Structure 1
């Protein structure tokens, strides 16, 4: 009896446990289905909610999106300007007319030196004196010979005059008159010879002094008192005639073709910021076949800062030209040559071939291809294509 009751109770518990498990399984199944349906409904809702707004969004953003793809470029109408052609070069400062001064006479022992480098002297001024004690004695002897010859000539003339008075009375023959005339002429000739010898000696003595050939500035001195000098002593002084200086600058043959006498130049010596104005006074008529260069000589007025032998740079204004000026970034180049991009009335880029001239600090000169009224692309031209639409930003020309 008890056994049966126990078995019956166990069977009821098993049935209860099975029913409970079945109910839990069904509950989880319904929960899973509900979750799937909710996710599906959310997805459908999101898809259905975005579809009505898509046309509006596409219509509203189509114009800005296409506009953002059009590049913006800087353009300018450059006009035409008068641009100076500048030739630059470097060279050496020197005296425009350098005069080497040496011994012109016999020479001798230098007794005094009267000038120093940097002294201004006049034409014929004595720069140094040479001992002339022997030459002075020779000149005095010759002067005495002149006086003797003059006395002989006066005596011969007096005898001739007396003889002419006696010839009418027959005391002196005609032959005597002729002899006395010849004696007078010989005496006068000896006077002229003595005078010439004296003048020669005086001239030699005068040349013993070392003198300035022209007025100017003494640059160097290479003689001292007590030094023995002669015609073979070389240069004793160097002078700049009139103190005039010049810059001798080496330029290429292309640049030389642009220059002419009278071109204005600005010269700046090395080590200073001071600028000196001058002008080209000579352009070399020959070109060095090795370096393919020639010399342009720029005349400069005297200034203590201009020291011969120094180094200097020059800016020479070779002339001016009226042309379109563009920055270098505006000019492009390819196998077909140089070109720029201009913007037409439809804001489209168009290629325009140009011929370039000189390149200066102001930019590149355009000698042909533009008249200055076009809207020229200044930057970003390398990224454009012919016919491409752009947004131009006009820049005012300076």
Structure 2
């Protein structure tokens, strides 16, 4: 190999190196272009997902993680304060009806529990055979006394006719007059004794002292009863009542004539009534008094039964919330509100009695706060949330 041949080989190797460097540069440019495109695509995706870059992106991410809660602005509204109580149902006038006479064997019973009776109606007939014979004897004595009185009057009349002829003296006339007066007096005594016996027999029958509803019956035919034995209990006029037991504070807020709703135990039906009497004393042991609520008669109202009572205790204006919004712990009742920064805050409140519209908040809320309605137990003070506002009526 000569020098010329060696030179041409070096030229060929130099051309190959230059071609390889150019290909490597093209590959690097392609990689840079693809990387730039990938970065641009990721930026667009990030902007779509987080709503922007830098600080705005961080806020958007926090919003995505915050839970959504339903809130309502519980504006003040007119509500009726209700006092809740328990009590029993009974008759306003529960009359015991029994034997007022001497008693005896019962022949028949003419009333059942649940019957309506009228004043003077015979409820029980008691055997009276002995008393009937006594009346017969007294009746005969009255007839004898009347015959003696008639004879004495006749003797007096004849004597007076003979006075003018001098056959009868004035003294004899006076004596016959006294005999006549004594006979009339004996007649009156016999009649009074007969009437007394008849009155005793009349008292053997047990009669209703007033019209009303028979509540109980404790007598059967053939039973021997004595004077003073109670055989029936009658609700005068069928008038019933609920006796609600209330504390001193509740009693102070109600008045005679206040309307009330009574629901018997085990029943879904309620009955409207009104307070007709408020206990003038408080039980020293239980510290409770009684409000007596008059009710119209209904077969579903059974005296002696248990009932729940709601008494209207006046109107007030206050925010009203559903029971789901009210929380409580050892510190008392509270709600969660959401401030202008969407942060949860705890607010202590004082509630009134539950009404049909919800729970009135008598203190703690001004009526403009956004109150969390549901799932407040899963929140913590200071937590950031997203809110969904429920319109008026939602807080009911």
| TM norm structure 1 | 0.69
Q: 2:203 aligns with which of 190, 203, 207?
A: 207
Q: Give the conservation status (yes or no) of the 8 Å contact 2:105–2:127.
A: yes
Tell me, which stretches of 5 or more residues in structure 2 are unaligned?
Answer: 1-27
1:245 matched to 2:243: no
Secondary structure, in 3 states, of the residue corresponding to 1:111?
A: strand
Summarize deviations over 1:320-352 as a string: whole Å, max 9, x none. 2233435675899999x99997979xx899x9x
Change in Cα spacing, 1:357 to 1:157, as seen in structure 2 (3 Å) is farther
Change in Cα spacing, 1:168 to 1:79, as seen in structure 2 (3 Å) is farther
1:174 matched to 2:185: no
Greater Rg by CA = 1
Give the deviation of 1:287 after TM superposition: 1.5
CA distance in 2, matches of 1:208, 1:315: 46
Task: Judge which range, 65-74 or 101-110, deviates more.
Answer: 65-74
Give the deviation of 1:276 after TM superposition: 2.4
| TM norm structure 2 | 0.69
Summarize deviations over 1:120-154 as a string: whole Å, max 9, x none. 22222222211111111111111121122222223
CA distance in 2, matches of 1:334, 1:304: 45
1:264 matched to 2:262: no
Q: 1:317 aligns with which of 300, 312, 316?
A: 312
Q: Which residue of the partner structure matches residue 286 of structure 1?
A: 281
Q: Give the conservation status (yes or no) of the 8 Å contact 1:356–1:364.
A: no
Q: 2:303 aligns with which of 301, 308, 315?
A: 308
Give the deviation of 1:179 after TM superposition: 2.4
Change in Cα spacing, 1:357 to 1:236, as seen in structure 2 (3 Å) is same
Q: Which residue of the partner structure matches residue 17 of structure 1?
A: none
Task: Judge which range, 211-220 or 376-385, deviates more.
Answer: 376-385
Q: 2:146 aligns with which of 147, 150, 153?
A: 150
Summarize deviations over 1:156-196 as a string: whole Å, max 9, x none. 33333444444455443333333233222222211211111
Summarize deviations over 1:66-122 as a string: whole Å, max 9, x none. 698899997755443221121222232223322222211111111222222222222
Give the deviation of 1:205 after TM superposition: 0.5
1:383 matched to 2:381: yes
CA distance in 2, matches of 1:267, 1:339: 31
Secondary structure, in 3 states, of the residue corresponding to 1:186?
A: helix
| RMSD value, Cα | 4.3
Change in Cα spacing, 1:67 to 1:330, as seen in structure 2 (3 Å) is farther
Summarize deviations over 1:270-305 as a string: whole Å, max 9, x none. 233222222222222222111111222222233222
Secondary structure, in 3 states, of the residue corresponding to 1:299?
A: strand
Change in Cα spacing, 1:64 to 1:73, as seen in structure 2 (3 Å) is farther
1:102 matched to 2:98: yes
Change in Cα spacing, 1:121 to 1:229, as seen in structure 2 (3 Å) is same
CA distance in 1, matches of 2:354, 2:104: 60
Give the deviation of 1:226 after TM superposition: 2.0
Q: What does 1:1-398 correspond to in 2, within 5 Å?
A: 61-62=54-55, 65=58, 78-168=74-164, 170-231=166-227, 234-326=229-321, 329=325, 356=350, 358-361=352-355, 362-367=357-362, 372=367, 374-375=368-369, 383=381, 395-398=390-393
Change in Cα spacing, 1:187 to 1:86, as seen in structure 2 (3 Å) is same
CA distance in 1, matches of 2:262, 2:209: 29
CA distance in 1, matches of 2:88, 2:330: 41
CA distance in 2, matches of 1:227, 1:331: 63
In the comparison of the two structures, how many residue pairs are matched? Answer: 345
